[in-house]
Amino acid sequence: MKKRYLLAPGPTPVPDQALLAMAAPIIHHRTPQFSEVFRETADLLKYVFQTKQDVLILAASGTGAMEGSIVNLYSPGDEVVVVNGGKFGERWGKISEAYGLKVHWITVEWGKAVDPAVVKKALDENPKAKGVLVQASETSTTAAHPIKELAAITKDRDCLLIVDGITGVGVFDLPMDEWGIDVLVSGSQKAFMLPPGLAFVALSEKAWKFQETAKCPRFYFDYKKERKNLKDNTTAYTPAVSLITGLRECLKLIKEEGLYNVFGRHDRLARATRAACAAMGLKALAPDAPSNAATGVFVPEGVDGGKLVKYLRDEVGVTMAGGQDHLKGKILRIAHLGYVDTFDIIISIAAIEMALAKAGHKVQFGKGVGAAQEILIEGYK
């Protein structure tokens, strides 16, 4: 027997309450029973998104809401500024180009956050740009972009701030209405502690105005139609009944803990992981703007990162993530978002110490674990 642990930046572990709720027999979606589940879930989502706006629930992975946000808000030929600091930033640009938008790319070195002054300059130089597309947390590099500062720049322009908060919402503070985020996207399999399959998106009043004139072709992801159905406590097409039933349980857990305590827990776990990596001599990939969703570190010289991730998964039983593109084989990404707590971090760090030792790297056992414990203990009375 091998006990397995899922400590990747998505999908993330699912709490028992949600697993049990999702195991219940399917109920029909056009019934008062389902409407009640849906209504409660939709209300709780507003709490987590920190918005008065409707949060649409789509049967899709997170990318579905990224694509939906482009096709509902823009027309072919429209100009947008895309912050490309990793795989997901690149995805914003690729989707935009697929629908005939003109993209002004801001390339950010992997592991760094975008400089708000650079975004402001791009908008000043391209006054026709009608959007800034960015990640709150660029999961591929584990860096966090300065969303509050970006919102201050787009606020008074005829330009939307569109934020992929797929590993941001429910991890750290992103008060949509207070900061003036126009579109906030998330997905089920990250901080929402659910299996993959749901995407969430909320639009500001300003964004809904863009929706009225946008001409990109669309059918399934029609936000206006979804909003109309949401008012009747349902979705336009068959909703993912089981996932939504599980979502209600996960959102209740978040509400019970309190959103700010959820952020505090993520912050403690993230700091402990960073301290442990530093103690193990592992260099951080995003030292200046680390995201509280996951920590990326370079694997030591002479260690094959790809083999390390495989060894951790297949032999040790701990699933983490490696790197993509030019960072393939060079980094390890340790997730600490969603249904995770103190001892998930201990497992991660202990597993890394052991796997590195097996890879022939000189390791002093307990050094990383001890550094993590120094911070993790803050979580107890």
Ligand X SMILES: *Cc1c(COP(=O)(O)O)cnc(C)c1O
Q: How many CB atoms lie within 10 A of CB 268?
A: 20
- Could you say whether residue 11 binds ligand X (CB under 6 A)? no
Nearer to ligand X, 50 or 135 (CB): 135
Nearer to ligand X, 62 or 68 (CB): 62
Q: Which residue among 7, 10, 41, 170 contacts ligand X (CB under 6 A)?
A: 10
Give the x/- contact pattern for ligand X in 77-116, rule: CB under 6 A.
-----------x----------------------------
Nearer to ligand X, 189 or 229 (CB): 189
Q: How far is the CB of 135 from ligand X (least distance, A)?
A: 5
Nearer to ligand X, 181 or 303 (CB): 181
What is the per-residue DSSP string for 82-99? EEESSHHHHHHHHHHHHT
What is the per-residue DSSP string for 226-267? HHHHHHTTS-SS---HHHHHHHHHHHHHHHHH-HHHHHHHHH
Distance CA 92, CA 164 (A): 9
Nearer to ligand X, 143 or 350 (CB): 143
Strands 318-319 and 143-144 turn out to be unpaired
Q: Which residue among 187, 290, 296, 300 contacts ligand X (CB under 6 A)?
A: 187
For residues 105 and 84, the answer to whether their CB atoms sit within 8 Å is yes
H helix count then E strand count, the chain: 14, 13
Q: How far is the CB of 97 from ligand X (least distance, A)?
A: 17
Which one of 149-157, 159-167, 174-182, 363-371 is the stretch in contact with ligand X (CB under 6 A)?
159-167
Residues near 346 by Cβ (< 8 Å), separated by ≥ 6?
369, 372, 373, 376
Q: Tell which positions 129-158 bind ligand X, by CB under 6 A.
A: 135, 137, 139
For residues 183 and 175, the answer to whether their CB atoms sit within 8 Å is no
Binding site for ligand X (CB under 6 A): 10, 61-63, 88, 135, 137, 139, 164, 166-167, 187, 196
